[in-house]
Amino acid sequence: MAEALTEVFTGNKNTCMKILPYQVQKVMSLVAQHTKKAPQFLDLLNAVVKVEELDLPLKRNQGYVMKYFMQCRSDVAYIIDQGSEQRRDLLKGANNEDLQYLISLVDLLATCAEGENRFIESICQTIFSVDELLDIINDKQIDNNLKRPYLRFFLWVYLNTASGMIESGSADLPHDTRVWDYMKSLNEELVKLTLFVNKETKVAMQLLKKSPSKSEVGIADSVNGSTSDNAATSSSGQTEVRRHHGSLHYMFDAVMPFLQVFFRSYYQPDRENYPKEYDYVDNLAKNLVTFVEALGPVISNETHLNTMIACMNSVLSSSTLPVKVMEEFLEKYGGGTKSTDIRSEARKKYEEYYQAEEELNVQLNVFAVNYSYIYGGLNTVENQLHYPLDKEYTNLDGDQILPLGEEFQQLIDCFIDRSQAGTPNMYKRAGKLIQQLSISASNIHMTERERLEQEALDLKCLQVLRAIIYNEIVKLPDNWDDHGARLHKKRLLSIQDAQNFLNQHSAMLKAMSLLSKPGDDIIREVLAFMATMLFAGNPKVQQSISEYFMGTREEMFFFAVKNRMHLSAIATKEKRALMAQHHAKMEMFLEQAKALKKAMKDGRMVKAEIMAANKKLGSTLMASRLSLKSSSSKQKSLKKRTSANALKRNAAGGSRLGSTTSLSQFGSQASRLGGGGGGGGGAMGSTQQLLAVRSYTENANGVELFKVKKKDDKIPLISNNNNKIQPASTDIEIKVEDFDDQDLAELAENISDDKDEMEYKDDGYIELVLQVLGLMCDGQNLDLQDYLREQPDNIKSVNLVAETARFLSLVYSNINKSTIGLVSQLFSTLVEFISGNLQNQAVVYDSKVCDYVNYILRDGHFLGCTEEQVLDLKEMIADLIQGLIEENCSKDAAKRSIDVAREVVEALDVDGIHHFTVTCFNKSQNRNLDEDEQEMYTKIGFRFYHILQRMADLDEENRCNKKVLIKTENDQASWNFYEQGTLSLEIVKDNELQKLYFWVKNKTVLREEIKEKFKYEADRSSPSNKLRDFMSWSRDIMQDIKYQRRILANPVARFFVHYWWHFNMAILWLSLLIATVIMVTWERPAQVNGTHVHDRTEPAYTNPNIPYVTYGLGGLHNVLSLCILISYFLSNHPTFPTPSSIASWFRGLIRTKSHSEKKEKEDDDDHQSNLEVHFFSFKTFYYIVFFALSIMGTIFYGYFFAFHLLHLIENNQLLSRVSLAITRNGRSLLWVALLGLVVFYIFTLFGFAFYREVFNEGVAKGYYCRTVYECYVTILHRGLIVGTYEFFEEHVPEDKDFAWHAGKMVYDVTFFIIITTIGLNIIFGIIVDTFSELRDSKWQIEKDMTTTCFICSRNSYDFEHHGRGFEHHVKHEHNQWAYLFFFIHLNETRSNNYNALELFVARLLKMDNYDFFPLNRALSLENEDDDKEQMLDTLMTQVSYLVNRMKLDETIKQREEDKKHQEEWKVKNQVAFDPYGSSKSKTTKVKPRVTSPKQRPQTPHDD
């Protein structure tokens, strides 16, 4: 069993990397149990530790083996715990179980120590000392084959170590006599082996093909008959063969690596103190050269050849042999496997014999590919779905591959009822597939055959279910998400319908139950199905998953994801360690080349030796380059079997036969020629690839292939011409004389490229797992975000957010074409985790994600990655940073979150972000790039600029200040560019002010006339009314902007709209010019006889050419008028009245009070646009008449052009307001005029009845009154101008009495009072009042605009002492048009792409809730509240002091009053206490008397 498992792991890197710790522990326990009876288990562990495919150890497995070795050491290492003499006797004795066990154990320890591992080296150094090892390898009684593991142990534990020479105890080795004694013994052994090889060349060739067993020598049986000498068949001959067999492999496996390391790192020439060492080295070099000359031609193992070349390079460079020796060696072997044919004769004959069959095999495989290609068809949406869209149908190299071909599409159609399109019954048949998945999940008792059949059926069911949705998804264009989801609303609804139907039948939950299946294919398909079901963040599917998790306490999914991440992380670490070792080996060649070049520059060689060294340098370069290629060819050599399906994957993928990895193996076999040597042979395992096919042309013979460079060209069938297969030459000619530093740099780059090719492979579908996790949280699903971080209802909780962030730490430092997709998906998933979730933001930040971001932004070299891939990655990084710092959190409720935002700002590399922002600006201005690339750079540049602005808001150290970052003119230009396209605003979320920045692509879509209209028509009666009316206007303006964008998309319409102002100015000046021409050149018409005609309208001209000038100017005037009319209709889009509006208008004419109330209610319900222009409006009629008058002006000599001078009113704000004063109350004026006409009619009747004869006297002057109509016109005409008195006075009859004149007096005075005085003053009053009203309204509006913020309604003086002033506040902080553009931004962005603040505002807008406006609040006034609180505290302190002081003063005053009253009382009652008993004292008030000492009488006591 151990031997069988050894063969399984030998040379299989993937299998070795997938072994689990408990499995290594189990094998080690078997070793401890059986010890010397089963040393094969030690060989198994040896195969697990070292990958024979790459000749490199796996550090992870080394650690596992040593860990469990130390745990079982007492049982496993019993034989090495014996004394050194006992162990040496065992090596000198006969072959037995103990010897086999000892050698296997030592070899395992040597393998575990390989690769510079300090911990393992320190453990091994306690097992064997340097002295014991030197004694063993110098002991001639011990067979060379037994010395092999000891010398390897010595090499990896003491020589080639991670620690220094002193730490490892090998500092004295360079001049240790035992080492040089060993060198002398090697000389003797080399001589013996050379003689044997020269004598038995064929036997030596056979012996090199197979390694001897570790404790026995030789494979005598395998070479019986391979030699004709009697010595080979005799007993002594067999012993000699066995001894030389072990010695040969001892040389290649142990001695040569030892010599290479010793002479490269330890050899220190010292001719004065150690002169004999030079001779030892030269003798060793000579013997090695002789040995190589004898054995080199028969080497058939590539590893042996590379080891030999590396060893010879080190030894020859350390020796003093003539340069000619080096030249001969490097000339023969300097090219490595490229210049040396290491194939055996049997191999050559085999290849020559079967060459024709191999070529035929290649043809058959090509035929299979072509046939499968024809069967599946082109991998395009148009070919697979018959939908007109030129894009790839499925990524055949990805994890979400779907079968191609009409058969699969017909299978899908079987489960879709097209006749029920648009209804839930359309997918009813697919319910059978879901039932099948449920049955499969519950069926656990199956045989292996049944299990495989069931798995195949499950795969097909999942593929069909996924394709039902995917066939709708793939019809979306690639950039559908960038241009707004509303443009593809219908397609998204059809996708959502399919998702919802499958979700209603629990398809998602039943598919998740299959995750417990052992097959990787079924797990991949389940994950792909989940990703398809969650496409676009379907909220119903997310809700089903959330209910399933929380209702069933599901743990399997979380542990499965965690285990996949853990295993993938381990594999990634191990692959990186492998490549680090491989890279170190390749750098060894590079260092040798650099050392030789440095020596040449320093002049340490003579001219002849320089020439020779140049050759050696070039050969070394060739060897190192070919060594790089050979490592990759080793990996490819395991994949030589190519099936038609595998070929189809390469053919039908993104390049369609462009990737020829599989075909190259057959090409390499077919291209080999017999014979070896030189560059034409080709080494075993080399891969000469077929030409990459990218396009085709048709000729008489069918399809001919040729190479093109276009990325998206379709790939045809392989040609049937004679030149079917043509190997691509990979020979590279190197001119040693021209070798310089550039070549060294190229070599280093090639090493890095090779490292990246081997670095990563997504074995666990981690990218697909991450995609599913991200889609679960898409749209900021807080429930799933929290549940993925913590499962409080489960026994064990798995933090998938932290696991994802930790996985990023493994791949961020080495991003290349293989890993950039995974890294981008990691950042995308983290963005979905943290969007709007404060706890997840803290988890991600604690995982040091800022360090990873800084590294990626600083590292501008992503090997093999396209610009699009790099930009996608940077965009994901921008989303992550923005998600971490976008919100200002409450200090009381979320202290941790505000700390995270500020700590993120402190941790990020500001200079790196700014540098990338400037780079994006430079790229966006590069005209050599296409428009899509420029737009992509512009978009990402704005994202990072907004991050810088947000960081500046949070930064307390001013690292993000504009003055600090801008250092060059280019920086200033980029900053100005981003400033012009950026707007900011403030909103209120959870009672906390937030600030956000966004990009406005085109500010010109908002017309200035709309701004002016809003300025004077918005409702400013109260702050809340202002905001409500602003939102009403915003909806109308957004509709207008949408319409304007559609118009501007047409170049002809764009011309008319953009030049509207120019047309108006031009026609005004043209009308003025025509008027000037008319005034200067027109005369009254005259007949031939000189008499003038007064009833003729056609004028006479001072110049006969004037009519032509007038007609020319009139034609131009007609064109401009037409342009103005077209521009008006394009810009305003006048609408015709609907039948309902016409009916409402008629109802309004006859409405009663109840009808009026109903209409007001209807008006409230039916929103009328503030910008809507009706076709039958005055303005539309004006422009139509405007054009008609222009035509009439051209026809009628120019008379009507005079009316166009009035167009000045439309283009002047002051005149417009003057006309508005008349037209605003036009209805009132009309009613007054109608009343005036009625009054005139009354006066007409009186005049006709009583004063008709007066009119008759003035008929000659036009005073007609034969009828009432004539009388009415006469009074209307004369009465308004001169009044009735003046034209009556001239024709009053003389025979009228006083009564007639008294009546006429009443008539005239009444007419004068009613018409002239009252009527006209009423009209003038209405106009004046309108003027006053407009003036007051304008004054109030301008006052509101200059003294009050439209958004927050704070007064201007509040900002004079806080922030940067009121003007800056209304322009940059609370710009009302910034809010409008933000609503447009929300409208054009898919809801799943909103950040937390955008989603918050969008949800409130959907509910017509405007609480997000910062009413009476502003960030610049935040400190004002603190100042007010401080002022209030100070004021309270002062008031308290004053109150206490007043109380104290009152108390003191009260005490003084009490004291005064007490004194008065004492004075009053002083007589009552008089000793002489005077009675007056009781009634008489005695004033106290105070005398001075001078006035006081002298007493006897004074003396």
Report the alpha-carbon angle 553-558-559, nearest 5.
110
CB distance 1217 to 1211 below 8 Å: no
The pLDDT assigned to 1191 comes to 93
More confident residue, 17 or 1502: 17
Strand stretches in 504-592, DSSP E:
none
- Span 1291-1324, pLDDT tens digits: 666 777 788 778 888 888 888 888 888 888 888 8
- Residue among 1134, 1010, 1116, 1009 nearest 1063 (CA): 1116
The pLDDT assigned to 1172 comes to 81
More confident residue, 524 or 1282: 524
More confident residue, 803 or 624: 803
> 233 pLDDT band (50/70/90 cuts)?
very low
Q: Reply yes or no on whether the pLDDT at 622 is more than 50.
A: no
- Span 639-687, pLDDT tens digits: 333 333 443 344 343 333 333 333 333 333 333 333 333 333 333 333 3
- 705's enclosing H/E stretch is strand 702-706
What is the mean pLDDT of the segment spanning 92-104?
A: 86
Tokens (6 digits) for 1112:
């020319």
Work out the end-to-end distance of the chain between its first and last CA atoms, rounded to an integer number of angstroms: 144
> How far is Cα 668 from Cα 684, in angstroms, rounded to an integer?
10
> 1192 pLDDT band (50/70/90 cuts)?
very high
The letter for the amino acid at 700 is A
- Residue among 1411, 1305, 1278, 1413 nearest 1350 (CA): 1413
Report the alpha-carbon angle 1031-1034-1035, nearest 5.
95
More confident residue, 753 or 192: 192
In the chain, what percentage of residues exceed pLDDT 90?
26
Exposed / middle / buried, residue 865 (Cβ in 10 Å: 0-12, 13-18, 19+)? buried
Exposed / middle / buried, residue 849 (Cβ in 10 Å: 0-12, 13-18, 19+)? buried
- Span 979-1031, pLDDT tens digits: 999 999 999 998 889 999 999 988 888 888 888 888 888 888 888 899 999 99
Output Rg (C-alpha) for the chain, integer angstroms. Answer: 51
Range of weakest confidence among 131-140, 506-515, 1218-1227, 1411-1420: 1218-1227
Q: Which residues pair with 992 in a beta bridge?
A: 989
- Span 292-331, pLDDT tens digits: 888 888 888 888 888 888 888 888 888 888 878 877 877 7
Tokens (6 digits) for 1035:
């909806």
> How far is Cα 823 from Cα 810, in angstroms, rounded to an integer?
10
Q: For the chain, how many helices (H) and strands (E)?
A: 65, 8
Which three-class secondary structure state does DSSP give residue 311? helix
Q: Reply yes or no on whether the pLDDT at 736 is more than 80.
A: no
Q: What are phi and psi of 1176, to 5 degrees?
A: -95, 25
The pLDDT assigned to 485 comes to 58
- Span 1358-1371, pLDDT tens digits: 888 777 888 889 99
CB distance 586 to 627 below 8 Å: yes
- Span 1110-1139, pLDDT tens digits: 899 999 999 999 999 999 998 888 887 777
Q: Which residues contact 112 (CB under 8 A, 6 or more apart)?
A: 49, 57, 62, 65, 66, 69, 120, 124
b/e burial code for range 884-914 (CB count within 10 A of at least 16 → b): bbbbbbeeeebeebbebbebbbeebbbebbb
Range of weakest confidence among 211-225, 1379-1393, 1415-1429: 211-225
Strand stretches in 441-498, DSSP E:
none
6 torsion bin: left (phi>0), alpha (psi -120 to 50), beta (else):
alpha
More confident residue, 1430 or 189: 189
The pLDDT assigned to 1144 comes to 67
**Average pLDDT of every residue of the chain:** 78
The answer to whether the Cα torsion of 84, 86, 88, 90 is positive or negative is negative
Tokens (6 digits) for 615:
């050759």
The pLDDT assigned to 1434 comes to 73
Range of weakest confidence among 32-36, 591-595, 1161-1165, 1449-1453: 1161-1165
The letter for the amino acid at 1109 is V
The pLDDT assigned to 1149 comes to 55
The pLDDT assigned to 472 comes to 92
